[in-house]
Amino acid sequence: MIKGLWWKLTGLGLILFSIIAGQLVGVPDLPVIRETIRNLFYHVPMWFTMFAMFGTSLVYSIKYLSGNKLKNDIMASESVYNGIFFGILGLITGMVWAKSTWGDFWTNDPQLNGAAVSMMAYLAYAILRSSIDEKAMRARISAVYNIFAFMLLVIFLGVLPRLADSSLHPGKGGNSSTMEGLDLTMRLVFYPAAIGWIIISYWILQIRTRKRRLLQSVN
């Protein structure tokens, strides 16, 4: 029990550290964003964690298509649901940040619109799964769709915003990135935050997959 507990406690410790230190450390006085740069410790780790979950889901979808093992479908689908949860947290923290820096919770920005489209693609995945009763067909169609959804995620969040010349988002449209303003002190808070949330997301994934397997064994 102790052997499998250390990484969970490590994740909790890193998150607790980042939450507290994120409010106490000195931050660069960057134009426009000012003190709101502290949201970097909370907003960006949500996106990192979301990508980790969706990436995990992609891997298990491919594994399912190559072997048709139900356990891989469970891992893939639960990773998507976990990713959606952290994606929603990323949207909420981003909207709070946008209100402070841009004066509105949502603007017609390529990065924000791309995030919205990506989340809708994965919400459609959940709807698709719920509409198919036969297990094998549901797993196979979901796996194929999941690969497509991940491609959309990369395009709408990784490619198109960087090509746009009108984005307000830091690091896009010619704007300087908030990551460029990270001094050593901020990096010592940001990276533990990102690692901590990713660790916790895998802990949540472990709990969810165990629950699914128990329920399916009962049924």
Mean pLDDT within 41-68: 95
Mean pLDDT within 28-39: 75
Q: What one-character DSSP code corresponds to residue 172?
A: S
The count of other CB atoms within 10 Å of the CB of residue 113 is 17
Which position has the higher pLDDT, 128 or 30? Answer: 128
Give the C-alpha separation, 188 to 135, whole Å.
Answer: 45
Give the C-alpha separation, 37 to 168, whole Å.
Answer: 15
Amino acid at 51: F
Which position has the higher pLDDT, 48 or 109? Answer: 48
| pLDDT higher than threshold 60 for residue 180 | no
| pLDDT higher than threshold 90 for residue 9 | yes
| Per-residue pLDDT tens over the stretch 128-155 | 999 999 999 999 999 999 999 999 999 9
Mean pLDDT within 84-108: 88
Cα 165 to Cα 63, 152, 161, 175, 191, distances in angstroms: 38, 20, 8, 9, 29
Amino acid at 123: L
Alpha helices in the chain (DSSP H): 6-24, 40-67, 70-102, 110-130, 135-153, 160-163, 184-218
Give the C-alpha separation, 57 to 82, whole Å.
Answer: 10
Domain ranges of the chain: 34-167+181-212
Query: Which residue, chain included where needed, has tokens 């995620």?
Result: 153
110-130 helix and 135-153 helix, angle to the nearest 10 degrees: 180
Mean pLDDT within 17-37: 81
| pLDDT higher than threshold 70 for residue 193 | yes
Query: Tokens at residue 68, please?
Result: 């048709």
